[in-house]
């Protein structure tokens, strides 16, 4: 009996820390990354967006840092272009309503735009990872949520 309990406990722990790589997960969130620039050009600013959406039927309060979503750029050989990410602010709280798209990273930029720069022409993939905590009804922090978007392909000329 004790062995069965321990086995169930370990399986629960493993499943609770899982991430999703298809833009969503069973916890009721979806993450989508896209390039807003129509004709991306090498060594020029490329406007991008990363939107987290609450796909559940109830509002949840989340706690996150800025940026909420780190966007990794992969080249044609599947090598990451950026190796270091910075966190500017911590402790941002937001009530995320059902089906509400949330993109604080664009809104918090001075220009109102989030841009990346890719030095060389080619085909690249953008993959976003959002990290945040859900605040429980008792006001405590739940486990960290990490959601990875589906890859978004971008052709840079």
The ranges assigned to domains in the chain are: 20-156
Of 12-21, 42-51, 114-123, give the lowest mean pLDDT range.
12-21
Q: Model pTM? A: 0.76
Question: Which tens digits make up the pLDDT trace of 93-114?
Answer: 899 999 989 998 776 666 668 8
Instruction: Please determine, looking at this structure, whether the domain spanning 20-156 carries the CATH number 3.40.50.1100.
Output: no
Question: Which tens digits make up the pLDDT trace of 54-65?
Answer: 999 999 999 998
C-beta separation of 85 from 70 below 8 A: yes
């Amino acid at each position: 009996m004790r062995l069965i309990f321990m086995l169930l406990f370990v399986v629960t722990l493993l499943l609770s820390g899982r991430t999703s790589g298809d833009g969503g997960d069973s916890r009721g969130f979806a993450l989508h990354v896209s390039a807003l620039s129509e004709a991306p050009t090498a060594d020029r600013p490329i406007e991008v967006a990363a939107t987290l959406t609450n796909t559940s039927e109830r509002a949840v309060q989340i706690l996150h840092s800025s940026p909420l979503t780190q966007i990794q750029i992969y080249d044609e050989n599947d090598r990451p272009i950026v190796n270091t990410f910075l966190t500017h602010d911590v402790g941002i709280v937001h009530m995320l309503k059902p089906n509400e798209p949330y993109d604080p990273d664009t809104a918090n930029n001075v220009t109102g735009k989030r841009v990346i720069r890719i030095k060389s022409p080619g085909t690249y993939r953008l993959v976003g990872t959002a990290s945040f905590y859900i605040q429980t009804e008792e006001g405590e922090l739940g486990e960290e949520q990490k959601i990875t978007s589906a890859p978004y392909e971008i052709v840079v000329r």
